Structure 1
Amino acid sequence: MELQVVEHRLTDGEALELEPVPRVVYDVNADGAAYSTGSRAIKGPKHVLSFELTPKASDSALLGTSLALPIDEQRLIRCDRVDFPPGGVAYLHTHQGPGIRVLLHGSIRIETGGRSHDYGPFEAWFEPGPEPVFAAGSADEPTAFVRCMVLPAHLKGQRSIRYVRDEDADKPKPQRYTVFVDELLPEDP
């Protein structure tokens, strides 16, 4: 199974029919998201990010990655937005499942696996979940990204973040989270 994100920028009068796969469509301008498994029509003017679970990756995806998930465990799909004030950081942490993130505005530095990468608006990156990550938003402007994660079903309504260092768990967290979608996936997506 592939998790991918595809960006669609539709002009006024333009329409798009999306095939029936489990997906979350995030509307960039309306700052909202919806989950569906059936076919989906989108009409312009719209700017959307479609996070999709597909059998095969699309050539037009911003980013796609293969997921090897346990077949005997129910999963959910979560889409949320994370907002950092200027200078905000996410201390070294992990998540309980993989996901793709897309930066909406500002800039962000992601440090993981001994590497550091800076991302700008509408660039995407993948986090596998169990690998520790440190994130630093722009020093002089707000930063926000939207993400879609595939998580164990028992996390429905609960946070997936785990801090690597005990002392970081008690530090103030300047980031804000807005959850748009937290839905169980079909048994066989």
Structure 2
Amino acid sequence: MGPDKKKMLEKFPVAQFISGICGQNIEQLWREFYRLYNILRQSQLTDQEIHQYKIDAENWVRTFCCPSEGYINSLQNFGLYRKADVTPYMHVFAKHVPLFMQQLKTKGLSLQIFSTSSIEKKNHNQVRIFFGSTTMEGGNKEQSVVYDIMSFENRQLFYLIHNTPKEITIQNIYANNKENLLN
């Protein structure tokens, strides 16, 4: 995560822009995410710290998608986000990262040395190429978008491995030209 995003998570006054308890809860939610992110970046963690991270990360996701309580047009406790807003990254953050942390700890490593920037760049390039060209007019309706993206990438790799030219030069051959017949 870049320094600008870290600064936003740590210091942005959400409650000044979203009034009431909802703004305060959103601000607190993102401060907690920042705290959990900083735990991930530590070079060494104890088993107890990893266990506490697991509990806190799961609670963070629960808080993220906590439903509203009460009745319409009454004083009620408003939820923050919908369950549908939970991303696969958030699932991994809470359910799989603690196991990764534990496994890396046994080898004397930590998540601090890993970066997902290359994966993010690949995803960005695939989406840009795919949605920038091949899904115009709706894409291939028979297959999923993921299938279409992977098929496109597989073709690119095949052409690269087999040194397939990117351009085809059109050459007209004239039957009356004797030089063409000799070649």
TM range (shorter): under 0.3
The structure with the larger Rg is 2
Give the number of the structure whose residues are more often strand, by fraction: 1
The answer to which structure, 1 or 2, has the higher relative contact order (CA under 8 A, 6+ apart) is 1
TM-score norm. by structure 2 comes to: 0.24
Give me the TM-score of the superposition, normalised by structure 1. 0.24
Which structure carries more helix by proportion? 2
